[in-house]
Structure 1
Amino acid sequence: MSTTTQLLVRKDELSSTRVRTTDDPALAEGQVRLRIERFALTSNNITYAAFGESMNYWQFFPTGEDGWGCIPVWGFASVVQSLHPGVAVGERLYGYVPMASSVVLAPERLSAARLVDGAAHRAALPPVYNQYFRCASDPLYTADTEDLQALLRPLFITSWLIDDFFDDNDFFGARPGVALLSSASSKTAYGTAFQMHQREGIEVVGLTSAANKAFCESLGCYHRVLAYDELDQVAADVPCVYVDFAGNGALRRAIHTRFSLLRHDCVIGGTHVEQLAPAGTAKELPGPRAAFFFAPAQIKKRTEEWGPEGFGQRMARAWQGFIAKVAQPAVPWLTVEHHEGAEAVQAAYAQVLSGRGDPRIGHILSLSS
C-alpha cells in the first residue's frame, strides 16, 4: 500500500511542526492521485498560515486533526493513479498542493488547458486556487524553468494584480506621488515594484531591513530603497499609498502618523510574523483604514472586463517580461536551493518562517521519496 507524508503545523504556534505518514485510501470513481514532485516555499506561504483561520487557507487541505494544519503551496505533480476518464496517468499538472508527497483530486470542468478540483470541501473556496494547469498546453509553462515557476508564478500574478488594482483606482489620488512597499526584499513586493516602476508619476520606494537594503537596490525595480528607520527621508506631505507585505504593526503606525496625505493602506501579507497586527485593530490610527487586498476579486473583475482570453494574454506578456529579468544570466535575481526529505523540509520551513534567509535564495522542497 502506498503512503503519503505531510508536514503538519500547529495553527496557533507556527514554529511547531511534525511529519505525519499515513496509508493512502483507495480512490473513488472520478478521483486521481498526484505525486507532488516539487513545491516552492516562500514568505507568501507563511502568510497563508498566519491568516489561515481568517482567510480559510487551512480549509484547502484539512488534516483531520484539531489544531494542526497543512500549509498550501504551489508546485508540480504527476498523475500516478486515475479513476477519471479525462485524466491519464503520467500527466503533469501545476497548481495549489499541500506540503505533502501526494494529494487526491476530483477533477471536473476539464479543458485542454486546465482542470478544477471539485472536492466538496473546496466548493466554497476561491475558484482561482482550485484550478490546475495542464503543463502540456499551458502557455506559461517551460520545462527548464519549473523551479522559477513554482517560486514566482503565483507571487507574480498577485504582484501584477496589485499593480493593476492601484492603476485601476488611479492610485487612490496619489498619482503623482509615492508608493511605499514594505518587506521590499520579498518576491511579491519586488514583483509589484517591477510593475509599478513602469507607471508614469509613481515613485516606488522599497522599505526593508538594513541587511537587505543592498539586495533590493541591486534589483533596479525600486526608485529608492530605505531601511525601516529611514522613513523620514520621504517628505511627510507627499501623496502616497502604502502596500504592506510585512504586517508590522509598528511600521503601520509610523506610516499613518507621518504621512498626512496617505491615500490608501493595502494589506497584502505578513512576513513579520512575530509582529503581525490585524488590519482591523488599527482603528485609532489617522488616515485611511487598512484594507486587505483579495486577488481573486481583481481576477474576477478583469476577467469580466477583458474576457478570459484577454486576461490570460495580458498576464502572459507581463510574466514573460518579468521572468526574463529574473533569470538574466549575468545577474540573476534568484538562486534555487533544493531540499528533499522530511528533515530537510522541516529545516527549510523553519528558516523561511524566521524571515532571516538570504533573499536571493529560492527554496524548492520535496517530500516524495
Structure 2
Amino acid sequence: MKSVNFEVNRNDLRQSRVETVPIDAAAAVASGKAVLALDHFALTANNITYAAFGDQMSYWDFFPAAEGFGRIPVWGFADVVASGVEGLAVGERIYGYFPMSSHLVVEPGRLTPRRFIDVSEHRKALPAVYNSYERVAADPAYSRTGESVQMILKPLVVTSFLIADFLDDNGFFGARQVLVSSASSKTSLGLAFCLKRLAAAGVTVIGLTSPANRAFVETVGYFDRVVTYDAIDGLDPAVPSVYVDMAGSAAVLTKVHQHFGERLTYSCRVGGTHWEGLAKRMDLPGARPKFFFAPEQIAKRHGDWGPGGLEQRFAGVWDELTGSVEDWLAIEDHHGPAAIKAAYHDMLEGRVSPATGLIMSLKS
C-alpha cells in the first residue's frame, strides 16, 4: 500500500511537490492502528491560513513531513481500509481532519459509537478537537449527498459560530459594530450569518473586502454593510468597534487600528488569507490584537452548557445556514495530483472565486 502526499515548502508556500511513500498496513494492524483511505476533501482559504500559521499555531505538527516540508491539514471523508482495532471495521466511513494525502495511519482510542480519537504519540499534546474523527454511520444528520457542503463549510462555520458566541458572551466588548476583513471568505460569511442570528441585536456587522469581491459579498446578503478596504477611512471613527481579522494583512490591521484608535475595543486575529503580508507584533493604537483560539471557547461552553449543549446550539445554526448556501455556493470537483496542485496554487494566489467550493481527491 502506498500513500500519495501533497506537500508544500514551509518557508515558501509557492513551492509544492507530490511524494509517494509506502505504508506497511500489516504492521499498522498488528500494532493496533488503522489505515484510512481519504476519499475526498475540501480546499478553502482556511487551509491557506493553516499553512500561513503552520509554525505559530502548530498546524504542521499534526501530519509530519520531511524536513522543510509540510502537509496542509484539510477536512474530508475517508474509509477504513485496514484495522487492528476491535470495533472499528474495514469499510467504515469516517469524517475528520486529514493531510492532503491519499492515506493516513491513525491510532484510534476512546472509541464510542459516534467517534474515536487519534491517540498517536505525536498528536497527544495538540488540540483534541482536531484529533477527533466521526463515524458517520452513527450520525443521524449525515447524508452522502451532503458531504461536499459539510467538508467545505462545516469546519469554517464551527469557527464562525464560536467567534460569534465569544463576542456575544463578552457583550461585544462594548462595541456597536463588528468589522470583518476578508468578507468574501467562507469563514467570514459564516460569522456574519451567526452574528445576525446569535443575539447581535443593535450591533452592525460590516464586511471589509476588495473591490473585486464587493458585489459577491453584497449578493450573499449576510452582512449589514459591505465596505472596500480603500474606503475604511470613510467609516465613523467615533463608533466603538470590534475588528475580526480574517485577512491577517498588516496593512489592513494597521489601517483599522489607526482609524478607530481607542474606540477599537477588541481586535481578534483569526485568519491569514492575505498570507504574503501577514501582520507581526506591532505597536498599534486601540486594543492589542489577540489570536482567537477556538478550543478555549469550546472548553468554556462545555462547562457552561454541559454535555451536548454546544453541539445542540450549533446544529440549529448549521441547519439554517445550509438552507441558504445553494443560492451562492457552486461546487467543483478536482481529481488527481496534477489537478490538486493546480487548484492549490490558484487558491494560494487568490484566483478562486469566493462563490466556488473546491472538492479534491488524490484518486485519479
Asked if 1:218 is matched to 2:219, the reply is yes
Kept after mapping to 2: 8 A contact 1:139/1:316: no
Q: Return 196-205 or 67-76, whichever deviates more.
A: 196-205
Q: Distance in 2 between matches of 1:22 and 1:109?
A: 29
Where does the alignment leave 5 or more consecutive residues of structure 2 unmatched? none
Give deviations 1:20-79, integer Å, cap 9, x for gaps: 00111231421111110000011111111111111110000001x110110110000000
What secondary structure does 1:197 align onto?
helix
Report the aligned-residue RMSD: 1.0
Equivalence for 1:316? 315
Whole-Å Cα distance in 2 between the matches of residues 221 and 233 of structure 1?
21
Equivalent position of 2:33 in the other structure: 31
Residue 366 of structure 1, aligned match among 349, 361, 364: 361
Letter in 2 for 1:4: S
CA distance in 1, matches of 2:216, 2:50: 25
Aligned residue for 1:113? 114
Structure 1 stretch 24-33 or stretch 251-260: which is displaced more? 24-33
* 3-state SS, counterpart of residue 31 of structure 2: coil
| Counterpart residue number, 1:154 | 155
Which of these residues, 325, 330, 341, is aligned with residue 346 of structure 1? 341
Shift of 1:117: 0.4
Distance in 2 of aligned mates of 1:140 and 1:350: 33
Specify the alignment match of 2:330 in structure 1: 335
Instruction: Return the alpha-carbon distance in structure 2 between the equivalents of residues 299 and 106 of structure 1.
Output: 24
Q: Does 1:277 align with 2:272?
A: no
Question: What's 1:303 paired with?
Answer: 302
Deviations 1:142-168 (A, max 9, x none): 221100100001000000000000000
Instruction: Give the alignment's TM-score, normalised by structure 1.
Output: 0.95
2:207 aligned with 1:206, yes or no? yes
The question of 1:188 aligning with 2:151 is answered no
How do 1:117-156 and structure 2 match up within 5 A?
117-156=118-157
Counterpart of 1:356 in structure 2 is: 351
* Residues 140 and 316 in structure 1, CA contact (< 8 A), matched pair in contact too: no
| Cα contact 1:6–1:19 (8 A) shared by 2 | yes
Residues 59-70 of structure 1: matches in 2 within 5 Å? 59-63=61-65, 65-70=66-71
Looking at structure 2, the residues matched to 269 and 303 of structure 1 have their Cα atoms a distance apart, in angstroms, of: 24
Q: 1:42·1:352 contact (CA, 8 Å) conserved in 2?
A: yes
CA distance in 1, matches of 2:105, 2:300: 31
Report how far residue 139 of structure 1 moved.
4.1
Q: For 1:215-257, what per-residue CA distance to the aligned partner results, in whole angstroms no more than 9, with x for missing partners?
A: 0001111111011111123211001000000011011111111
What TM-score, normalized by structure 2, do the two folds share?
A: 0.97
**In the TM superposition, what are the counterparts of 1:258-277 in structure 2 within 5 Å?**
258-260=259-261, 261-277=263-279
**Counterpart residue type for residue 291 of structure 1:** K
Question: Which residue of structure 2 aligns with residue 86 of structure 1?
Answer: 87
Matched-pair contact (CA < 8 Å) for 1:82–1:88: yes
Unaligned segments of structure 1, at least 5 residues = none
Q: What is the SS of the residue equivalent to 1:172?
A: helix
- CA deviation digits over 1:252-297, x for unaligned, max 9? 111111113110000001000111112xx11x21111100000000
Matching residue of 2:235: 234
- One-letter code of the match for 1:81? A
CA distance in 1, matches of 2:256, 2:229: 10
- Report percent identity of matched pairs: 50
- SS of the equivalent of 2:324 reads helix
The answer for the alignment partner of 2:58 in structure 1 is: 56
2:172 maps to a residue whose letter is F
Q: Please report how far the alpha carbon of residue 127 of structure 1 lies from its aligned counterpart in structure 2 after TM superposition.
A: 0.2
Q: CA distance change for structure 1 residues 243 and 347 in 2, over 3 Å: closer, same or farther?
A: same
Matched position secondary structure for 2:164: helix
> Could you say what secondary structure the match of 1:277 adopts?
coil
